[in-house]
Structure 1
Amino acid sequence: MTEAKSLPALTPIGDNPTLLWGMTNAERLRRLARAEGLPEKASGVQLYVNLDYVFDPVWLRHIVTLPGTVVMDGGDLVMAHLTGGMTPADIAPHRGALSIVDYRDNPQIYNRQLRKLDCPFIQRLTPATRRAIERKSYFGAYKGVTDALTKYLWPELALWLTRGAASIGMTPNMVTAIGAALCVYATYLFAYGHYWTGMLAAFIFMVLDTVDGKLARCTITSSKWGNVADHGVDLVHPPFWWYFWGVGLGAWGLALSTQTFIWVMVAVVAGYVLQRVIEGLFIKDFGMDIHVWQKFDSDFRLITARRNPNFAILFFATLAGRPDIGLIAVAWWTVISLVVHAVRLVQAYGVKRSGRPITSWMEAA
Structure 2
Amino acid sequence: MTPKDAQPRPAVTPVGSNPTPLWGMTNEERVRRIAASRDLAFTDQPTGPTILVNLRFASDPVWIAHLTGRPGTLVSRNGVPALAHVTNAAQREAVLAAMQAQAPVSPEAGMDEIRAEAEEGIFNEALRKREQPFVELLVPEAVPGIERASYTGAYKGVTDLLTKYLWPEWAFALTRIAARLGITPNQVTAAGSVLCIIATIAFWHGWFWTGLATGLVFMVFDTVDGKLARCTITSSKLGNAWDHGVDLVHPPFWWWAWAAGCADYGRPLTDQMFWLVIGTMLFGYVAQRLIEGAFIVRFGMHIHVWERFDSWFRLITARRNPNMVILFFLLLVQRPDWGIIGVAAWTAISLVVHLVRLFQAMWAARHGERITSWLA
TM range (shorter): over 0.9
Matched, 1:35 2:49: no
* Mapping for residues 117-156 of structure 1, pairs under 5 Å: 117-156=130-169
Matched, 1:23 2:44: no
* 1:92 counterpart letter in structure 2: S
SS at match of 1:23: coil
Q: Could you tell me which residue of structure 1 aligns to residue 8 of structure 2?
A: 6
Offset from partner CA, 1:209-230 (integer Å, 9 cap, x none)? 0000000000000001110000
* Mapping for residues 1-365 of structure 1, pairs under 5 Å: 3=5, 6-40=8-42, 42-85=46-89, 86-89=91-94, 91-94=105-108, 97-111=110-124, 117-363=130-376
Q: What percentage of residue pairs aligned between the two structures are identical?
A: 54
Q: 1:117 to 1:135 in 2, by over 3 A?
A: same
Offset from partner CA, 1:303-340 (integer Å, 9 cap, x none)? 00000000000001101111111111101100000000
Where in structure 2 are there 5+ consecutive unaligned residues? 96-104
SS at match of 2:375: helix
Alignment RMSD: 1.6
SS at match of 2:353: helix
SS at match of 2:234: coil
Q: Which moved more, 1:64-73 or 1:185-194?
A: 64-73
Do the aligned residues in 2 keep the contact of 1:115 with 1:143 (CA within 8 Å)? no
Offset from partner CA, 1:99-126 (integer Å, 9 cap, x none)? 1111222232344656753211111111
SS at match of 1:255: coil
Normalised by the size of structure 1, how large is the TM-score? 0.95
Separation in structure 2 between the aligned mates of residue 27 and residue 92 of structure 1, nearest angstrom: 29
Where in structure 1 are there 5+ consecutive unaligned residues? none
Q: Which moved more, 1:66-75 or 1:190-199?
A: 66-75
Separation in structure 1 between the aligned mates of residue 186 and residue 128 of structure 2, nearest angstrom: 23
* 1:223 counterpart letter in structure 2: S
Normalised by the size of structure 2, how large is the TM-score? 0.93
Do the aligned residues in 2 keep the contact of 1:80 with 1:88 (CA within 8 Å)? no
Do the aligned residues in 2 keep the contact of 1:4 with 1:37 (CA within 8 Å)? no
Q: 1:235 to 1:254 in 2, by over 3 A?
A: same
Separation in structure 2 between the aligned mates of residue 111 and residue 235 of structure 1, nearest angstrom: 26
Q: 1:228 to 1:316 in 2, by over 3 A?
A: same
Do the aligned residues in 1 keep the contact of 2:72 with 2:84 (CA within 8 Å)? yes
SS at match of 1:193: coil
Separation in structure 1 between the aligned mates of residue 150 and residue 41 of structure 2, nearest angstrom: 25
